Amino acid sequence: MLTIKNLHATIEGKEILKGIDLEIKAGEVHAIMGPNGSGKSTLANIVAGNEAYEVTKGEIIFEGKELLEMNPEDRAREGVFLAFQYPVEIPGVSNATFLKTAINEIKKYHNQAELTPKEFLSLMKEKSKILGMEEALISRSVNVGFSGGEKKRNEILQMLMLNPKLALLDETDSGLDIDALKIVSNGVNLFKAKDNAVLVVTHYQRLLNYIQPDFVHVLYNGRIIKSGGKELALELEDKGYDWIKPELVESETVYRS
């Protein structure tokens, strides 16, 4: 579904990603872990099309298409979704207006019939229920007056509504208490299917107790320095990141000589 090859990227001239290779297949859940500033969020944002970053080398192929040549809205229409680490507030635009516009723009792109108001409303009700969100929220402005946890839930609600092929979850667990974490994870688990994929970006192993990854990658200083199964996440929880770093130093030394 997604193939990232030798991806290099900079922001304001500073190199953040220094050669990322990653392959995600339909039906898989991948987790990217790593310390702060390692480039995890950058990677998710480049896939979603954030224009603040400059890709200096490499390519991203999504469902056979060159993603880097598309604007963010087309990537979304092709099936990429990013749940933001810091969701944005949009006063004066209701959740209903926002989501209905988004869904219908995606439908238009695929030459599909737009949702009727009735269809939209029943879909919204069904999905809100999964996330334990009140119906009143539908008419409230996007993320305005929401707590940190509510904003994260709203991101997952948007994901369920838009039903993407690839969901990128950027630190969705941060700022969530245990109950909210369970609700959000449940939403993601209901979403998971054979024909879609999830990439979880997280600092902590905690979320991965609820969303079981098939693959775990450790990102450090702009490179994936270790990949493994879900047991890698547990190992990181136990030992931290330090035990891997020497390997990196070693490999760099070897590389240089």
Partner 1 sequence: MNRIPEFQNTKEWYLSSFRKFEEKLNGESKSFLHDLRKEALAQLAEVDFPTTRDEEWKYTSVSPILKQNFIPAFNIDKQNVTKEGIKKYFFSGFDFYTMTFINGIYSEELSDLQNLQKGVTVNSLSKLLRSNPKVISEQITKFVKTENAFNLLNRVYSTDGAVVIVPDGVIVEKPIQILFLNGHNDKLVLSIPHNLIVAGKNSQVSIITNYSALNSSVYFSNIITEVFAGESSIVDLYKIQNENDNSFHYEKVEAHQLKKSIFNHYNFTFGGEIVRNDINSTLDDENIETHYYGLYLGKGNQHIDNHTFVDHAKPNCMSNELYKGILDNKARGVFNGKIIVRKDAQKTNAYQQNKTVLLSKTAKINTKPQLEIFADDVKCTHGATVGHLDDTAYYYIRTRGIPAELAKSMLIRAFANDVVESVKIEPLRDQLNHMIFEHLHRVEIEND
- Which residues sit at the interface with partner 1, rule CB under 8 A? 48-52, 71-73, 75-77, 80-82, 84, 87-94, 96-103, 105-106, 109, 117, 141, 158, 162
Residue 197 contacts residue 2 (beta carbons within 8 Å): yes
- Output the smallest distance, CB 13 to partner 1, in A: 18
Nearer to partner 1, 48 or 208 (CB): 48
Residue showing tokens 């953040």: 16
The whole-angstrom separation of Cα 131 and Cα 134 is 9
- Output the smallest distance, CB 50 to partner 1, in A: 6
Nearer to partner 1, 119 or 179 (CB): 119
Residue 188 contacts residue 198 (beta carbons within 8 Å): yes
Nearer to partner 1, 95 or 205 (CB): 95
- Output the smallest distance, CB 74 to partner 1, in A: 8
Nearer to partner 1, 93 or 130 (CB): 93
- Taken in order 255, 30, 169, 60, the sign of the CA dihedral is positive
Give me the amino acid identity at 16.
I
Q: Phi/psi at 119 (nearest 5 deg)?
A: -60, -40
Q: What angle do CA 214, 216, 218 make, to 5 degrees?
A: 170
Nearer to partner 1, 100 or 127 (CB): 100
Cβ-in-10-Å burial (0-12, 13-18, 19+) of 228 comes to: middle
- Output the smallest distance, CB 31 to partner 1, in A: 21
- Output the smallest distance, CB 5 to partner 1, in A: 23
- Output the smallest distance, CB 95 to partner 1, in A: 11
- Strands 141-142 vs 90-94: parallel, antiparallel or unpaired: antiparallel
H-helix or E-strand spanning residue 93: strand 90-94
Nearer to partner 1, 65 or 239 (CB): 65
Helices (H) and strands (E) in the chain, counts: 8, 12
